[in-house]
Amino acid sequence: MLKFLRPAIARVLTPVGQVLAKTPVTPNALTIIGTIGMSAGALWLFPTGHLFAGVMVCTGFVLTDMLDGTLARIKGNTTGKFGAFLDSTLDRIADAAVFAGLAAWFVLGGHDKLLAALSVFCLVAGALVSYAKARAESLGLRCDVGFAERTERLLIGLVATGLSGLGVPYVLAIGLWLLAAVSAFTFGQRVVAARRSAAEIAAAGNQPDPGSVVAATGDHSDAGPRGLGTCLD
């Protein structure tokens, strides 16, 4: 839904990537640093009630993680398919850390078991959204739909959390309910798309060749070298 932002963000990140390309830093290193930083910030600051500070830390490391795709392209995609696999796999860890941190806050300080459970639902639903597309494409089925991909889900979660940390009432609860709804809707979209694709293949009398299908890695539209950054997929 926010893919139109890619060109603008690419223009901002390219100069930074060109500077990093002159150093020994690799795209995989940026991926790992971004994931560790984001996970540490979310699991350390959110449970202690420092919501706005946690969002600032997570946002900073999201930008670091976004640079991996830019650096990979400038260096000639040296990390290849493993880089794409690592990128998407570690994204799931970072996303889980954000919602686990929020769930911990609602249990320890927020004293709201319903919102704690909702945070866990958002964690699971987000993982299912990514898995549905990955599994469908690994079987040769088309599943290129998604009302709320990782960009949208992360944006909703972090903006609502940050505003809550600034004292805006009810915004985090609203954000989590909205995120739960769009995640469930997107998962349903992908299940329907995969079912439709399978029916079309069966009707045509064709079967996808598993050997020719490259397994998808999360929200990416392909499993080639990582693109602009996983938060945009």
| Helix (H/G/I), strand (E/B), else coil: 137 | helix
For residues 150 and 2, give the distance between their C-alpha atoms in angstroms, rounded to a whole number: 10
Q: Write down the residue that tokens 């699971």 correspond to.
A: 124
Task: Write the CB contacts of 220 (distance below 8 Å, at least 6 apart in sequence).
Answer: 84, 88, 226, 227, 230, 233
Which contacts qualify for 151-156: CB closer than 8 Å, 24 or more apart?
151/1, 151/2, 151/5, 151/231, 151/232, 151/233, 152/1, 152/2, 152/182, 153/95, 153/122, 153/126, 153/129, 153/179, 153/182, 153/183, 154/62, 154/95, 154/98, 154/231, 155/2, 156/182
Active site residues: 91
